[in-house]
Structure 1
Amino acid sequence: MWKNLTLKNVIATVKLSLFINCSWPLPTNTIKLKVVCVALYQYLCLFLTLGLTVGLCNTVRNHLDDPIIMAKSIIIICPTMHTMCNIVFCKINSYRLRLVTYEMENFCELLNSHEEAIVRQYIDRCVHFYGGSILWLYLSAIFVITGPVTLDQPFPTNAEYPFDIYHQPMKFIIFIHQAIVCMQCASQLCTNVFIALLLWFTSVRFELLAEELRTIIDVHDLVKCIQKHQKLLKYADEVVTVVRPFALTAISLSTLALIIIGIILITQGQPLSMKIQCIGLIFSGLSEVFMYTWPAEHLIHINSEVGQAVFNTQWYKLSIAVQKSLQVIMQKTQKPIVVAIPCLMPSLSLNYYASYLSTIFSFFTTLRMVIENSQDEE
């Protein structure tokens, strides 16, 4: 099903996953009317998601004495908050997103057969995880929407409102509203796949540059590679700037959701359907963090390979001026391109993800021991 995919196919798939919220940046030549309509629609999505979030917060306020109901509400609040944050960040970074996306789509049109073969290696490596994540997000949304069929509740969520919602047509309106917001959340969470795609695309370009450095035959080719490296560093800086707020939001809200889910799973007396939902949400939360740490780790690694490729060239046969330029490239590759926010988010990598998993499971174990000890004392 996913064999022989091209970069165009991947871009089209990610763009389709963002269709519900129109989160894919518009082309630079889009007419003004369409830009205004898309902006108004995104504000409408923000308003609808905010409405459900307020209802869920009202549930938390009304049930401060029932931690399970509070936890069930907070589990849904996390993705709705994530959705609203992503919409806001897309608006704030709309110019940068448009530039980096345009360059990616333009690069896709100019691929030769050798470059396309390297790109396909990346696609084959990532397609199952990211494609499966998109599918899982939408299946999770459908599972939540159909929750009233298996759970003892009339609506997909347990949001409470300061007015009667159990009579028609209000009951139908509330159900449709919550169902729409669930699908919006699934679409907006696919923004993580889009942002990860930008990181992987940056890595692809660094690898192509390293391959080109290994096959240079004259000074003219080397000068072109030096110029490409300078442009690529600027592009990488733009991508990292775009990625940071999305990554911070994903990690923060995923951590909160995982903690709450752990409380529900450890608590006895929960129905099987609720436990299945929790397990699915745990998978979603952990995979969401992995979406960022995996390409961030690879970007650090592939940047150093460019420096190694420069070192392996026959630099000693070149002029002093060109050797100095190569030395600048090697110095720049020694400084890794990291996705991090000082004092807020450490450098994303697989080591960070391993420590993140260890911390989460240690918390679950500690929480379970505390609950078991309190039950034994009773």
Structure 2
Amino acid sequence: MVIQEKITLKKVITVIKLSLFVIWFWPLPHNVSKRKVLCMKLYQYVCILLTITVLASMIYALIKNLDDPNLVVKSSLGLFPCSHVIWNILCRIAIYQRLQCVTIEMENFCTLIKPYEEAIIQKEYIDKCANFYGFCIASFYMSVFALFVGPIVLDEPLPAYAEFPFDVSHQPLRAITYIHQIIVGLYIAAHLSVNAFMAFLLWLASARLKLLIEELRIITNIYDFIKCIKKHQQLLEYAGEVAFTVRSFAFGTVFSSTVSLIVFGLIFITGASLPLKIQCTFLAISALLEVFMYAWPAEHLIHICNHVAQTTFEIEWYNELGNLRKNIQMIILRSQKPILVVLPCGLPSLSLRYYASYLSTIFSYFTTMRIMFEGQSDVL
């Protein structure tokens, strides 16, 4: 009988770090040398340059084949994942200090965590969420593996459809181009795994509020309650920082997934080949999972904030606190205004309700496009 190894908090952090290793995304400590910081920044710019060159070859293929709808669709498949990589890198550069601060505080918490706290996080969060996010990370990298074998199985010259103003059908240019696209494919998989990293920050912010709730339930004196009040304020500030850090990456994911799903819908409507439809089916599922990776922890963060207020209200010795009653009321009122992951550009905050409306909107787009194409076919 094979005993399955338990997934712990430290293992989750290790897996996320490994999934981001290709892009050097995990922030460095504050006391790191300037040389290492410079190397990290240079590597980020190299990643942008390599991605832009692949993006340019796909745009060139799209412009060159505007008269062939099938080739236009094939060349546009990689545009939005590549754009997503560039967006993530630019966001990381812009808010690196915030990302570094929330990540280091998260690491410090995980280092100093007490056994009973780790047991609560293990039961309430890791056991429920780790398999889903592990599956998502594995699927992202399995898609890259499919890129490796794609030219062999489908008899294609390159993993992604692209054209160049020069001949790349001969060696060594063909091998260089092939390796170049595979490297960018690894970048795409790693940047899709950034969703798991951002979701982990949200989940851990919720977990720390959950631990506060457990403390509120067992306190027996005013001194412990005062400590809980201070901790509540600190956790709200931290959760707000996490939500602000996450929102830019979430916006890139939502935008990229939305446009990609519309392209996939066009592929199904225009009657593309069966292998391409199968590929797009898996890519569409992946795009929907990407948005859900953010919506789930964002929804839980909303509920856990409200739960803090409910737990505080249910304290049995509420009437005995006297002068602290106003502080209790402040906790309740502040908790009733939950931490929201608000998307930029006037979009609503992330939640499961938003995800449901997102799915409804996507399906309405598909229906509208199908009706339009069927109407054009009847006219012709």
Q: Work out whether the TM-score is over 0.5.
A: yes
**1:214 corresponds to which of 198, 214, 217:** 217
1:3 Cα deviation after fit? 5.3
**Aligned twin of 1:190:** 193
Structure 2 letter corresponding to 1:318: L
Q: 285-294 vs 141-150, which deviates more?
A: 141-150
Closer/same/farther in 2, CA of residues 31 and 110 from structure 1, 3 Å limit = same
Quick one: distance in 2 between partners of 1:256 and 1:2? 39
**Aligned twin of 2:371:** 369
Q: Secondary structure at the match of 1:146?
A: helix
Structure 1 contact 57–73 (Cα < 8 Å) conserved: yes
**Aligned twin of 2:311:** 309
**Aligned twin of 2:334:** 332
Q: 139-148 vs 289-298, which deviates more?
A: 139-148
Quick one: distance in 2 between partners of 1:68 and 1:120? 48
- Structure 1 spans left out of the alignment, 5+ residues: none
1:9 aligns with 2:11: yes
Cα distance per residue 1:170-216 (max 9 Å; x no partner): 11111110111001110111111100100001110111111111111
**Aligned twin of 1:135:** 138
Quick one: distance in 1 between partners of 2:307 and 2:4? 29
Q: Secondary structure at the match of 2:7?
A: coil
Number of matched pairs: 376
1:64 Cα deviation after fit? 1.9
1:376 Cα deviation after fit? 4.0
- Structure 2 spans left out of the alignment, 5+ residues: none
Cα distance per residue 1:248-300 (max 9 Å; x no partner): 11001100000001111222241x32222101100110000001111100000
Structure 1 contact 2–127 (Cα < 8 Å) conserved: no
1:144 Cα deviation after fit? 2.2
**Aligned twin of 1:149:** 152
Closer/same/farther in 2, CA of residues 44 and 343 from structure 1, 3 Å limit = closer
1:158 Cα deviation after fit? 1.3
Structure 1 contact 340–347 (Cα < 8 Å) conserved: yes
1:282 aligns with 2:284: yes
Structure 1 contact 145–179 (Cα < 8 Å) conserved: yes
Structure 2 contact 60–164 (Cα < 8 Å) conserved: yes
Structure 1 contact 4–120 (Cα < 8 Å) conserved: no
Quick one: distance in 2 between partners of 1:6 and 1:275? 38
Structure 1 letter corresponding to 2:51: T
Cα distance per residue 1:310-350 (max 9 Å; x no partner): 11112211121x11111111111111211113653201110
**1:39 corresponds to which of 38, 41, 49:** 41
Quick one: distance in 1 between partners of 2:180 and 2:268? 28
Quick one: distance in 2 between partners of 1:292 and 1:345? 14
**1:231 corresponds to which of 216, 219, 234:** 234
Quick one: distance in 1 between partners of 2:346 and 2:165? 37
1:84 aligns with 2:97: no
Quick one: distance in 1 between partners of 2:120 and 2:281? 36
Quick one: distance in 1 between partners of 2:56 and 2:151? 21
1:374 Cα deviation after fit? 3.1
Quick one: distance in 2 between partners of 1:349 and 1:125? 18
1:245 Cα deviation after fit? 0.8
**Aligned twin of 2:253:** 250
Q: 358-367 vs 327-336, which deviates more?
A: 358-367
Structure 2 letter corresponding to 1:330: I
Structure 2 contact 23–47 (Cα < 8 Å) conserved: yes
Quick one: distance in 1 between partners of 2:360 and 2:194? 26
1:354 Cα deviation after fit? 0.7
Q: Among the aligned pairs, what percent are the same residue?
A: 48
Structure 2 contact 248–344 (Cα < 8 Å) conserved: no
Q: 22-31 vs 133-142, which deviates more?
A: 22-31
Structure 1 contact 74–257 (Cα < 8 Å) conserved: no
Structure 2 letter corresponding to 1:274: L
Structure 1 contact 150–273 (Cα < 8 Å) conserved: no
Structure 1 contact 73–158 (Cα < 8 Å) conserved: yes
1:370 Cα deviation after fit? 2.9
**Aligned twin of 2:176:** 173
Cα distance per residue 1:209-254 (max 9 Å; x no partner): 1111111110110010001011111101111110111111100110
Structure 2 contact 160–181 (Cα < 8 Å) conserved: yes
Quick one: distance in 2 between partners of 1:205 and 1:269? 49
Structure 1 letter corresponding to 2:325: Q
1:68 Cα deviation after fit? 2.3
Structure 1 contact 147–156 (Cα < 8 Å) conserved: yes
Quick one: distance in 2 between partners of 1:65 and 1:26? 48
Structure 1 letter corresponding to 2:343: I
**Aligned twin of 2:113:** 111
